[in-house]
Amino acid sequence: MRAQPLNPEVLVAIGPVVTVSRPDLEKLKERATENPRQRVRLCAHQSADDRLHEMLIVLGRGTYVRPHKHPNKTESFHIVEGQADLILFDDDGIIGSVLAMGEYDSGRTFFYRLCAPYYHTVIVRSDALVLHETTNGPFVRADTIFAPWAPDEADADSRSRYVAALEQCVARFVSGDEGTDRRVKGLRST
C-alpha cells in the first residue's frame, strides 16, 4: 500500500493500481488507535472530484459516527473484519432498521447498499471494524446532512448520553419489544 496522509485520519492511495495486504491493514488499524476519534480511512480514489469513491475505513470500538444522510448519493459497505450494528432512522430519529453486520464468516449481514436518503450510523461491536465503502463522487462536505436530533461530536457530554440512550433503544428494538418507542429521546443537539 502506497499512500500519502491528507491528515491523521485520511490517507490517499498513490498510483493507478491500489493494493492492500494484511500487514497494510494492521498498520491502518494501529493508526486508528492512535487517533483521538479512533478512525482512519484509506481513499483508493485519487481526488475528491472522482466520480467513484472507494475507501477502506477502520473504526475502533466506541467510535461515534453522528447519524447523517446523503441525499442524491448511494453508498455500500462490505465488512472486511469485525462486527457492528448499522442503524437506519427516519427524518424524526425513529429507528427503522438495525442490521447486525460482520465479515462473511460471522454469519451476519456482510454487505449492504443504501440508495435512499435515510439517516444512518454504526455502533462498532468489536475492537476494530474494517469496512470497504463505495459511494458516488464528487465529495462535497455540505452534501452530508447531520441529524438535528443527534449531538455534534465535539459535545462530549451530550454525545455520551446519546450513545448510551441509542444503545438501550437498539437493544429493545433488536429484542422485538413491540411496545418500545423507537426514538432515542431527550437528546437534541444544540
What's this model's pTM, rounded to 2 decimal places? 0.91
Over range 144-161, report the average pLDDT: 95
At 135-151, the pLDDT tens digits run 999 988 888 999 999 99
| Grid cell locating 46 | 485519487
Mean per-residue pLDDT, 101-112:
97
Identify whether 153 is part of a domain: no
178 falls within a domain: no
Per-residue model confidence (pLDDT) at position 181 = 59
User: Which residues lie below 8 Å from residue 130, measured CB to CB, with a gap of 6+?
Assistant: 25, 28, 29, 56, 57, 58, 79, 80, 81, 82
pLDDT at 176: 82
Whether residue 97 is predicted with pLDDT greater than 50 in this model: the reply is yes
Task: Report, as an integer, the average pLDDT of 185-189.
Answer: 45
Residue at 31 is within a domain: yes
pLDDT tens across 76-92, in order? 999 999 999 999 999 99
- Contact present, 84 and 69 (Cβ < 8 Å): no
Q: Give the helix/strand (H/E) hosting 113.
A: strand 111-114
Q: Establish if 121 belongs to a structural domain.
A: yes
Residue 94 lies in a domain: yes
Q: What percent of the chain has pLDDT over 90?
A: 86
Query: Quick check: is 173 in a domain?
Result: no
Name residues whose C-beta falls within 8 Å of residue 22's C-beta, 6 or more positions apart in sequence. Answer: none
Domain membership flag for residue 166: no
Per-residue pLDDT, averaged over 58-78, amounts to 96
Indicate which CATH number applies to the domain containing 104.
2.60.120.10
Q: Is the pLDDT of residue 35 over 80?
A: yes
Which range (3-12, 163-172, 180-189) has the least confidence?
180-189
The answer to whether residue 115 sits within a structural domain is yes
**pLDDT tens digit sequence for 113-143:** 999 999 999 999 999 999 999 999 998 888 8
Structural domain boundaries, residue 61: 3-148
**What pLDDT is recorded for position 33?**
96
Q: Are strands 68-69 and 145-146 parallel, antiparallel or unpaired?
A: antiparallel
- Mean pLDDT for 6-23 is 96
Give how many domains the chain has, as a whole number: 1
